[in-house]
Amino acid sequence: MIRIAVCDDSPEFLQQAVNMVERWSEESGVPAEIYRFDNGDALLAKNAVTHMDIIFLDIIMPLQSGIDTAKDLRQSDKAVKIIFLTSSPEFALDSYEVKAQDYLLKPVTYEKVKESLTECSHTFEEEPKNIVLKTAFGYQKLYFHDMEYAEAQNKRVVFYLRTGKTVESAESLHSLEDRLCLNDGFFKCHRSYLVYLPNVDHFSMTEIITKSGRSIPIARGYGKAFKEAYFAFVFRD
């Protein structure tokens, strides 16, 4: 269930917009809880206690404009998707300042609303990063956040998971390295080991301890490179 708010001071347009959101929800099969507001203050007060996922926000409103309302929203809510509604294109630049998802000019068509909502809903549905492995039992998907490290054993690779389980792949470590790269959080600390940095608990210059308590060796001469890679990845944001 996603929460969608529509804020517009025109009762007629507010109802039209709500009708379009309801139609999209029914056609797409995405359940939505819809809230309606005729001013920015009421929207801000509600969002403070009930987090909205998507907000359709009119820009030209009395008392507090949609741009000012969006700025207030962004003070405490970086995640909500804001879709501006306006009869004038002159505020387009301001919409970038508050990281708006979209900017729809009135009169708004259902196709435009549908396009914006579909794009937003897809971002909510994105799967965590993963890899599909070839195993003795067929293909298996593993999520990166579940992995601690991969160990090469002869011509196979064993993946050690945070749950304590292991998954054995029929592929070689070399063939997997391009798919498990540093940008995704993986570091080759030894010719036989590929470790997932977010699941490292602590380390020295010669040893890594994972969050489940497993120990992985760091090859001689790799200690400094691992330390730099670890901190660069963990603090990259």
Separation of alpha carbons 186 and 213, rounded Å:
18
Do 34 and 18 meet the contact criterion of CB atoms below 8 Å apart?
yes
Do 28 and 124 meet the contact criterion of CB atoms below 8 Å apart?
no
- 223: which residues sit within 8 A by CB, 6+ positions away? 204, 205, 206
Residue corresponding to tokens 């969006």: 70
Residue corresponding to tokens 């700025």: 71
Task: Give pLDDT tens digits along the chain (237 positions).
Answer: 889 999 999 999 999 999 999 999 999 999 999 999 999 999 999 988 787 889 999 998 888 888 899 999 888 777 789 999 887 777 666 666 778 888 898 899 999 999 999 998 887 766 678 887 878 876 677 989 999 999 999 889 999 999 999 999 988 898 898 889 998 999 999 999 999 999 999 999 999 999 999 999 999 999 999 999 999 998 875
Q: Which amino acid is at 38?
A: D
Kindly state the greatest CA–CA separation across the chain. 71
Separation of alpha carbons 160 and 121, rounded Å:
33
- 44: which residues sit within 8 A by CB, 6+ positions away? 69, 72, 73
- 236: which residues sit within 8 A by CB, 6+ positions away? none
